[in-house]
Structure 1
Amino acid sequence: MSRLDPSLEPNGSGLRRIEVITGAGGRRRWSEDEKALAVEESLAPDAVVSQVAHRHGATPQQLFTWRREARRRAEAEGVPPFVPAITENSGAAVRAPAPAPKTEAAAPVVEIEIGETHVWIWRDADIGMATAILRALRTSPGAK
């Protein structure tokens, strides 16, 4: 026979301490929209991941996991990574605003028209970025 007493009181008086937890129990669940909002906010150039995570009630590790999952989902769906581009749709009634002219800006070396979209490539453009832009435009619905 064991003399171990499972109660929290050492004197064995038969009284036990009970802790009552109120509120929602278990783990917190975030909707896909909440996760997407936090991921988008964390990708801003001046964002601090730990601050963004705490603002959304998550830990930095969770936010990094959400970012990794979003990147994998995009790759699985065949979405190309984001590449900033300036395009002009010549057939549309509304045009995207042209970039502010630089002082003494060099003229583009190459102008490419894919469907109704025009892309200008300058002499010092990164070849990898130009290739990614052209691939993205080639697979876009308006390129046909």
Structure 2
Amino acid sequence: MTMPCDDAGTSKVQRFEVFTGAGQRRDWPPEVKAAIIAESYSKQETVCAVARRHGLSPSQLFTWRRQLRKQMEARGVALPVAPTMAPAFVPAIIEEPPSIEPAPAKRPRKQARAKDSAVELEIDGVAVKIGRGADAGVIAAVIEALRATR
């Protein structure tokens, strides 16, 4: 039976984990638990990375952290909370484009045209002559190069 949400074979596997062992509950000594929880608060790695390195599921480590927080609050001790920074924006600087004075009108010069050129282009004072028999790809590349310099 296929479900509309079934994407088997259409998406790549991001990460694949294999859990080995009997699948029995593990009893973690309090000292080891405390060390793992402290390591997860060190901000040197993500909580998920710490959990994976110790063979835990990330949800288990998050549960331990929540239980510790509740125990500390019950005793009247609050865990330090890292200050959250308010979102900030990068200042935008808008500069006026330099005023371009129009170039004085030039009289078009009549140039002697080469008899062997098939295509002649003149853009912004740049003249390009492409000879007969040039490949269409070469002509397209020349035109693209002229567009890119504008």
Is the TM value for this pair above 0.5?
A: no
Kindly name which structure, 1 or 2, has the bigger radius of gyration based on alpha carbons: 2
Given the two structures, how large is their TM-score scaled by the length of structure 2?
0.37
Higher RCO structure (Cα 8 Å, ≥6 apart): 1
